[in-house]
Amino acid sequence: MRPEPIWHDFDTPTLLAERFADDVAAALGAAMADRGLALLAVSGGTTPAPFFRALSQRELDWSKIHVAPVDERFVPITSERSNEKLIRENLLINKAAAASFTPLYHETMTVQEAAIAAERGISVLPLPFDMLILGMGGDGHTASFFPDSPHLADVLDPKTPRLVLSADAPSANEPRLTLTLPVVVAARRLTLHIEGNDKRTLFETILRERQDKPIGIVIEQSPRPVDVYWAPKESELS
Ligand SMILES: O=C(O)[C@H](O)[C@@H](O)[C@H](O)[C@H](O)COP(=O)(O)O
């Protein structure tokens, strides 16, 4: 039986960003108290930047926090499409500049080679992640688990020994690198950050109809409830 998601609703994206930053900071602080360090995996895209900037200002011993992307576009880190660029410019600043970062992107000949290099970096972290934050696209993808990807079964294989795989998809603008399903659902705290009425309706429909969209599969495979942080988009505020 799937543990139902726990909703955390906010009136505005700004209120969400501040409270989400408090909650993530508290979870990271608890992890450090428990095991002397904290592992944080974050998604990219257009939603998380305000939350990243709020989190970057929280009083934590960031020198004991290790950050990694949940997924990455196979583009140079100077590209506006780079999640690493987004994270370095919005999260690894202010107090959070002291955190360490494990990249997924590597300047290799092929995306498959980059996945192997990324996996070497992720494999030396003391997994599982203490906090892993997902986003969701309008097609129900999460991480780089794209519904139209020929590699979807590989990245969603609950028994894959791989930690990182490449994941091309016609709907993805560029080749992708992604943590695999077992790494995602092993997180001690798994959260989903979505904004806008359309994404809320889509997510609720996927769950209600048990659609086999990637976000639905992640929720089904998660051994513990997923915390969903939601607010309307700025453009939807009355
Ligand atoms: O690399 C990425 O794009 C993300 O990791 C991806 O999974 C993202 O969370 C969704 O696509 C939502 O993106 P938006 O926040 O832009 O809607």
Count other C-beta atoms under 10 Å from residue 46's C-beta.
8
Pocket test for ligand 1, best of 47, 86, 87, 180 (most atoms within 8 A of CB): 47
Global pTM exceeds 0.95: yes
Contact 175 CB / ligand 1 (< 6 Å): no
Domain boundaries, given as residue ranges, for the chain = 6-232
Residue nearest to atom 11 of ligand 1 (CA): 137
Whether the per-residue pLDDT at 1 is higher than 80: the answer is no
Q: What is the pLDDT of residue 178?
A: 98
Q: What is the pLDDT of residue 238?
A: 82
Can you tell me the ipTM of this complex?
A: 0.97
Q: How far is CA 149 from CA 52, 141, 169, 228, in A?
A: 28, 10, 4, 25
Pocket test for ligand 1, best of 42, 71, 75, 164 (most atoms within 8 A of CB): 71
Count other C-beta atoms under 10 Å from residue 99's C-beta.
21
Per-residue pLDDT of 27-78, as tens digits, reads 999 999 999 999 999 999 999 999 999 999 999 999 999 999 999 999 999 9
CATH label, 6-232, candidates 3.30.830.10, 3.40.50.1360, 3.30.1490.20, 3.40.720.10 = 3.40.50.1360
Q: What is the mean pLDDT of residues 131-137?
A: 98
Contact 36 CB / ligand 1 (< 6 Å): no
DSSP 87-98: HHHHTSSGGGGG
Q: How far is the CA of 35 from the centre of ligand 1 (A)?
A: 30
